[in-house]
Structure 1
Amino acid sequence: MKKALIFSTGILMVIFSCKDNMEPTKPENLISQDEMVNILIDLSLVSSAKGLNKKILENNGITPDRYVFEKHKIDSIQFAESNAYYAYFIDDYSNIYVRVKDSLEKLKMKYVRLEQAENKKGNDAKADKAKRVKRDTLRKKQNDSLLQPPTFEEN
């Protein structure tokens, strides 16, 4: 019994002594979670724009990542250190990405609603034009019939 206790204790000591605590140190210039959300939103938007309009961005001398970093007054090292720090803490990192995803979804819905409103305006304008054309055609027919001399049928 004593040997089993010593053996178990030894195994536990080996297991726990092998655990390497690699928790990163908090960077001096850690970006706040709120600001990380804003940066990641902007990086996502610029990344999407880069995929669709890469030539336009290049022709205007815009480097997407650098643009976002300058906008938020940070550098790539500060972003990388903050990102690595938050990535170690899965719950915080997950929370950041959930907020980014929610914000992007809200933004998408906003633009979908705007597009629908524009389409509705266009459809309403087309319907109004069709009504005007029909009304004008009927008026023209009425005016034409008034200008025509009456015809009498003889039996």
Structure 2
Amino acid sequence: MRKHIYIIAVLIFLVSCTSNTMYKKPENLIPKDTMVSFLTEMYIASSAKNIKNKFLRKEKNYVMYVYKKYKIDSARFDVSNAYYTSKIEDYTEVLNKVKSNIDSIQEIYEERKEVKDSINSKKKLLLDDEIIIEKLERKNTKLQ
């Protein structure tokens, strides 16, 4: 008898897990393009909370700033996110655009870093050249 109860419980569990829940489109749905921008900044903000500032403290919660910027509350985001996740093709499209945005932002910062590094190395070379020239001039004045 016990085996039958376990088998029935497992079957009920499996059947309940395979349902495709499609939510109705909510009235205050966040548009796809806004959702892409919002999620891009949310991923950046959530990863930034793990970075320490110059005083070696983690004290800012940037996620709240993103909510304020887009004038979206967490309830509206949850409803919109649930709707988009029920339509996997739409959500995949949104997430691919978010990934593309983050990759583009990363490329921009890497290019800026390379430019900054090259400028710093040129400044260092110029300073080294100036020091060498100064030493040569001192040496020349001593020889005269």
Tell me the TM-score normalized by structure 1: 0.74
Aligned position for 1:55: 58
Measure how far apart 1:20 and its partner are.
Answer: 6.1
Aligned position for 1:29: 28
Q: Which one of the candidate residues 80, 83, 86 is aligned to 1:85?
A: 83
Over the residues paired in the alignment, what is the CA RMSD in angstroms? 1.7
State whether structure 2 residue 121 is matched by structure 1 residue 123.
yes
> Counterpart of 2:27 in structure 1: which amino acid?
E
Measure how far apart 1:21 and its partner are.
Answer: 6.4
Tell me the TM-score normalized by structure 2: 0.79
Between the aligned partners of 2:20 and 2:112, the Cα distance in structure 1 is: 51
> Counterpart of 1:37 in structure 2: which amino acid?
V
Aligned position for 1:149: none
Between the aligned partners of 2:80 and 2:132, the Cα distance in structure 1 is: 65
State whether structure 2 residue 66 is matched by structure 1 residue 68.
yes
Structure 1 outlier segments of 4+, above 3 Å: 19-22
Measure how far apart 1:103 and its partner are.
Answer: 0.4
Aligned position for 1:45: 44
> Counterpart of 1:72 in structure 2: which amino acid?
Y
Q: 1:23 to 1:124 in 2, by over 3 A?
A: same
